Structure 1
Amino acid sequence: MRTHEPVSLVPREAQQYQGRRAGLVTRSVAGVVDGVVVVVAVLAGYVGVNGLRFLVRPRDFQFSEASPLPSVATVLLVLAGYLFVAWSITGRTYGCHLMGLRVVGRGGARPGLLVALLRALFCVLFPLGLLLCAGGRQHSVQDIVLRTSVIYDWRPGSAR
């Protein structure tokens, strides 16, 4: 009779990293993915608003001008909201999901609402804080101040 090993959701090669802190490169790739998600969402909103304007007044329609300062402010606001919602609900954004990462607070649970909000604002307003991860420390300024960690976690669902 043959015994079967339990099936793991984590690939054998990755199991040694499960629960360890993520480094600069993995976190940066996840951040770029999240940035693309937010830019696409803001562009879709811009096109949608102009589409509605066209439907209401087709004869007078002109695309609204996208001024640089309000556009950047909109992207940063949407990014902060996106990070806050994702981290407070599941502990991971889409970029984190693709890279097998999760943001956790003390004890390995997902961050609470206040910590998720502060971390999102901190990441948007001070993205260079991530560079502290370089050199093997694996803690960003945001992690140190808010006592959070970004770990490798390939399990589906949210952190406990």
Structure 2
Amino acid sequence: MKVFGITGWKNTGKTGLVERLVSEIVARGFTVSTVKHAHHSFDVDHEGRDSYRHREAGAREVLLSSGNRWALMHELRGAPEVPLADLLTKLTPVDLVLVEGFKAEGHSKIECHRAATGKDILAKTDASIVALASDTQVDLAQPVFDLNDTAAIADFVLEQVGLG
């Protein structure tokens, strides 16, 4: 599987870009999966639901299944966070995995940047960031794309991973 990342500070458009890239790349005939890093404790089920009750009771894993989908939740219970490489082994093979977040991992990434956040550009000091998608003009050694030019960004990503 080919892996490419979308990274950046909070509120820079990462999720919107991933969503648009998935649609664009799938429309081109490729299979795509995503991995999203969350910085905080999160729940995919809610208090009172059977799966929540199973997890709260101490289950290490809870697998939900229906005629439409299945989902596996794994509780770390104090164990260290799982590295991206290990998480990728859990996925069914596809043409491309788009990874949102995981700033510290070494895979190639495009950084989302919005001037309004006031945050510095990570690409200036992170060699794994091979391009920037921004809502403003930026002078960088790496390619810079308009944050909303999904087709051009998709072309770039596919070329970078050898699917172009």
TM normalised by structure 2 equals 0.26
The structure with the largest strand share of the pair is 2
Which structure has the highest helix share of the two? 1
Q: TM-score, normalised by structure 1?
A: 0.27
